Every structure is written in structure tokens, then in C-alpha cells.
């Protein structure tokens, strides 16, 4: 294996480095994009219970937001539960954009590796062909061994670049699809949470309206009492 790498020439160094970075990103994203870390069922249920209760403490919001990715989005919605619906929706959407950025972390780098690896292999091919023609110019075209090294370098770098590119592109597409599925699930959970909070808020005005009518009734009673007292005073003075 070492002989093959050496025969590939100088372009094998960046190709190998790119393959190491690609593998590191793949393993890291597989670990970070576990469903138990992104959309755990416990966090979704906790958010629904807090929204239905209507009384959400800051500690509960902080705990929910630090547990998972979807928890951070739902915690933003709960923190905005006392605000108008459109403001709450905007806050949740903003938190969702930040969550998507977290989920897609390092994926652009993986896509870049998938794009440039064939180009690095092609550049190695060019170097190999240059080496072959250089040897031909020195030894003549009648010696096949003189050009074998350059051709070997060209083929090895081309194959290595294509292998790295295939692995990077395949896993990038797979991980991107996984992120898209998570985003759809988070959007659905956020919409459900907004509806629960909205239903709870719609029940508040009835109680507040009843309370608001009491001062008006009290003021009307006070006015009536004042009018009766004034009439009695006039009757007393007339008598």
C-alpha cells in the first residue's frame, strides 16, 4: 500500500488529507445526527405539557433548550408564549434557522471534498503525463520502462481522487437527506406547539373580560349610591 501511495506522486498527499477530513466529518455527523439527540420524544412531550399548563418557568425553558436541537426550537416558542401569535411564529422560525445551521454543520466541507477530489486526481494525472513525456524526451520512445512511472502516477492519482469523491458525495447526500427529514419533523412539532399555546391563550380573554366588567359594575353602583344620597339631602333641606 505504501508503494502505491509513493508511486502516486505528490498529489497523493492532498488526496489522503482530504479523505481523512471526509471520514472525520462523516463519523462526527453520524454521531451528532442521532434521533435521540435531535428529536427525542421526551423533549417533545415535555414541551407540549408545558404549553398546555400555561405556566412555564425560566428553568424549565432553559433545561428544554439545552437538551436537544428540537428542544431549543420549542423552548423559544414557549418563551414567546405570552406574545402575539405572529411574533411567536417569527421567533420559532428564527430558532429553526439556527437549528438547521447546527444540523448542517461541516456538510458544506464534505460537499467541497466531493467536488475537488476528482480535480486533484486529474491534476495528478497531468503531473504523471508530464513526467512521462519528460522521460520520453530523455530516453526516447523506444523504452517503455521510461514512461511507466509517469503513467502509473497518473492512474493512481486519478483512481484515488475518484474513490474519495464517491465516498464524500454519497455520504453528503445521505446526511443532507437525513437533515431534511429532521427539519420537516421539527416544523411539524413547532406548528403543534404554536396551536397548543394559541388555544391556551384564547381561553384567557374570557376570564379577563369577566374581571374587567366588575370595575364597571362597581362604578355604576357607586354612581347610583351617590345620586340617592344627593336626592335625600335635597329632600332633607326642602323639609
Q: How confident is the model at residue 238 (pLDDT cuts 50, 70, 90)?
A: low
Express each pLDDT in 65-82 by its tens digit. 888 899 899 888 888 888
**pLDDT number for residue 205:** 52
Distance CA 69, CA 63 (A): 12
Q: How confident is the model at residue 196 (pLDDT cuts 50, 70, 90)?
A: confident
**pLDDT number for residue 18:** 94
Q: What is the 3-state secondary structure (H, E, C) of 25-43?
A: HHHHHHHHCCHHHHCCHHH
**pLDDT number for residue 218:** 42
Express each pLDDT in 213-227 by its tens digit. 455 444 555 555 555
Q: Residue with C-alpha cell 481523512?
A: 20
**pLDDT number for residue 115:** 94
Q: Which of 14-23, 99-108, 110-119, 122-131 has the lowest mean pLDDT?
A: 122-131
What is the mean predicted confidence (pLDDT) over 184-210? 74
What is the mean predicted confidence (pLDDT) over 191-204? 79
Q: What mean pLDDT, rounded, does the chain reach?
A: 80
Q: What is the 3-state secondary structure (H, E, C) of 154-175?
A: HHHHHHHHHHHHHHHHHHHHHH
Give percent of the chain above pLDDT 90.
33
DSSP H/E element including 142: none
**pLDDT number for residue 128:** 79
Residue 175 reports pLDDT greater than 70: yes
Report the candidate in 82, 45, 47 with the shortest Cα–Cα distance to residue 201: 82
**pLDDT number for residue 211:** 41
DSSP class of residue 62 equals H
**pLDDT number for residue 208:** 42
Sequence-distant (≥ 6) Cβ neighbours of residue 59 within 8 angstroms = none
Q: Which of 98-102, 207-211, 230-234 has the lowest mean pLDDT?
A: 207-211
Residue 136 reports pLDDT greater than 70: no
Sequence-distant (≥ 6) Cβ neighbours of residue 207 within 8 angstroms = none
C-alpha cell at 191: 406548528
**pLDDT number for residue 102:** 92
Distance CA 124, CA 133 (A): 14
Contact 128, 151 (CB under 8 A): yes
What is the mean predicted confidence (pLDDT) over 198-223? 54
Amino acid at each position: 500500500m505504501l508503494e502505491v501511495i509513493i508511486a502516486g506522486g505528490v498529489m497523493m498527499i492532498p488526496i489522503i488529507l482530504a479523505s481523512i477530513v471526509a471520514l472525520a466529518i462523516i463519523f462526527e455527523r453520524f454521531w451528532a445526527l442521532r434521533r435521540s439527540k435531535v428529536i427525542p420524544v421526551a423533549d417533545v412531550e415535555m414541551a407540549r405539557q408545558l404549553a398546555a399548563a400555561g405556566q412555564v418557568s425560566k428553568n424549565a425553558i432553559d433545561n428544554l433548550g439545552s437538551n436537544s436541537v428540537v428542544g431549543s426550537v420549542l423552548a423559544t416558542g414557549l418563551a414567546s408564549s405570552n406574545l402575539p401569535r405572529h411574533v411567536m411564529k417569527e421567533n420559532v422560525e428564527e430558532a429553526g434557522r439556527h437549528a438547521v445551521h447546527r444540523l448542517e454543520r461541516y456538510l458544506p466541507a464534505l460537499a467541497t471534498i466531493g467536488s475537488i477530489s476528482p480535480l486533484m486526481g486529474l491534476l495528478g494525472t497531468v503531473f504523471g503525463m508530464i513526467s512521462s513525456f519528460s522521460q520520453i524526451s530523455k530516453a526516447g520512445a523506444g523504452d517503455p520502462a521510461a514512461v511507466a512511472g509517469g503513467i502509473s502516477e497518473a492512474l493512481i492519482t486519478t483512481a484515488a481522487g475518484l474513490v474519495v469523491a464517491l465516498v464524500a458525495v454519497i455520504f453528503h447526500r445521505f446526511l443532507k437527506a437525513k437533515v431534511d427529514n429532521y427539519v420537516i419533523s421539527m416544523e411539524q412539532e413547532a406548528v403543534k406547539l404554536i396551536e397548543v399555546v394559541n388555544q391556551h391563550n384564547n381561553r384567557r380573554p374570557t376570564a379577563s373580560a369577566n374581571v374587567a366588567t366588575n370595575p364597571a359594575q362597581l362604578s355604576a353602583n357607586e354612581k347610583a349610591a351617590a345620586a340617592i344620597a344627593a336626592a335625600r339631602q335635597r329632600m332633607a333641606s326642602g323639609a
